[in-house]
């Protein structure tokens, strides 16, 4: 069988249809930035796909092809611009944890993620399992994994007890910041991360860490 030019063209169109259009990197960068700007101006409840499309220089149908809803847009914007790997490896367990939890506090106070977004977004998660899954996979779990690795490094260094409950420590480290953002009863201060880390390490640090940091009182 001899293939004709028409056959080749049809095959090309079919392959293009199957693979879809390649993603536009400009849109991938412009949309999260537009979302965060508009959230800062009008808040979560008033964010619309039309406004995001206009600000990002694209169209509402384009957004619909990439994101299921405006809530999914917000989740991706948080993951893209606030970051998902906040806890560094500085060689110092104490420093790593303060940096990680401090970064979370800075994210919720220096961006619109705080009182204007997070409480309403969390409320939406309760009624939308797909949105909840996206939030956990794109934003929550990656940040949690970053801090979990910092705790495991602390165990390997001999700074944290080997029997420490990593999941419990993660909840304790981050919960104060999230609690204050969700309920607004107290501010997320610059000193909060250090205070929380000090309390956590007081419970799980090894004698080696206490001696090295002068935390052992003379008997």
Please work out, in degrees rounded to the nearest 5, the angle formed at the alpha carbon of residue 80 by the alpha carbons of 76 and 81. 120
The structure's pTM equals 0.78
Both 64 and 92 in one domain: the answer is no
* pLDDT > 70? residue 196: yes
The reported pLDDT for the residue numbered 78 is 86
Q: Can you give the three-state secondary structure of 193-209, one letter per residue?
A: HHHHHHHHHHHHECHHH
Q: Indicate if 30 and 88 belong to the same structural domain.
A: no
37, 60, 79 — which closes off a domain? Answer: 79
pLDDT tens string 47-68? 999 999 999 999 999 999 999 9
Inside any domain, residue 9: no
* Range in 2-6, 144-148, 157-161, 189-193 with the lowest mean pLDDT: 2-6
Residue 166 confidence class, pLDDT cut points 50, 70, 90 = very high
Is 113 inside a domain boundary? Answer: yes
- Tell me what pLDDT residue 12 has: 45
Give me the CATH number covering residue 124: 1.10.357.10
CA angle, residues 77, 101, 75, in degrees to nearest 5: 15
Q: Is the pLDDT of residue 216 over 90?
A: no
Q: Are residues 49 and 110 in the same domain?
A: no
Give me the chain's average pLDDT, please. Answer: 85
Q: How many domains does the chain have?
A: 2
Where residue 47 sits, what CATH number does that domain have? 1.10.10.60
- Residue 49 contacts residue 70 (beta carbons within 8 Å): yes
Q: Are residues 29 and 118 in the same domain?
A: no
Can you tell me whether residue 160 is helix, strand or coil?
A: strand
Which of residues 64, 79, 94 is at a domain's end? 79
> Are 71 and 98 in the same domain?
no
Question: Is 154 found in the same domain as 92?
Answer: yes
* Residues above pLDDT 90, as percent of the chain: 55
What secondary structure does DSSP assign to 163-182, as a single string? Answer: T--HHHHHHHHHHHHHHHHH
Please state the rounded mean pLDDT for residues 204-210: 86
Q: pLDDT value at position 107?
A: 80
166 part of a folded domain: yes
pLDDT(70) > 80: yes
Q: Are residues 66 and 108 in the same domain?
A: no
Instruction: Give yes or no for residue 23 having a pLDDT over 90.
Output: no
- pLDDT tens readout for residues 87-131: 889 999 999 999 999 988 888 776 667 777 888 999 999 989 999
Same-domain check for residues 130 and 95: yes
Q: Are residues 200 and 121 in the same domain?
A: yes
Domain boundary among 45, 79, 113: 79
The pLDDT of residue 19: 44
Kindly state whether residue 89 falls inside one of the protein's structural domains: yes
pLDDT band of residue 86 (cuts 50, 70, 90) is: confident
206 phi, psi to nearest 5 deg? -80, 165
pLDDT of residue 16: 43
Question: In this structure, are 89 and 194 located in the same domain?
Answer: yes
Regarding whether 106 and 43 lie in a shared domain, the answer is no
Give the domain extent around 64.
Answer: 23-79
In a domain, 154, yes or no: yes
């Amino acid at each position: 069988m001899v293939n004709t030019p028409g056959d080749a063209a049809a095959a090309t169109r079919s392959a293009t249809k199957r693979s879809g259009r390649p993603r536009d990197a400009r849109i991938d960068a412009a949309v999260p930035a537009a979302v965060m700007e508009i959230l800062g101006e009008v808040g979560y409840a008033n964010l619309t796909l039309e406004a995001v499309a206009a600000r990002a220089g694209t169209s509402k149908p384009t957004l619909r092809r990439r994101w299921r809803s405006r809530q999914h847009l917000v989740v991706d914007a948080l993951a893209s611009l606030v970051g998902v790997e906040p806890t560094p490896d500085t060689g110092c367990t104490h420093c790593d944890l303060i940096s990680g939890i401090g970064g979370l506090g800075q994210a919720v106070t220096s961006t619109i993620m705080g009182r204007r977004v997070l409480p309403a977004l969390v409320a939406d998660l309760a009624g939308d399992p797909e949105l909840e899954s996206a939030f956990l996979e794109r934003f929550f779990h990656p940040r949690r994994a970053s801090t979990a690795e910092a705790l495991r490094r602390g165990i390997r260094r001999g700074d944290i007890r080997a029997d420490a409950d990593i999941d419990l420590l993660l909840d304790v480290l981050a919960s104060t910041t999230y609690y204050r953002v969700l309920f607004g009863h107290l501010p997320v201060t610059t000193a909060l991360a250090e205070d929380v880390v000090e309390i956590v390490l007081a419970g799980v640090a090894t004698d080696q860490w206490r001696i090295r940091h002068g935390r052992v009182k003379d008997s």
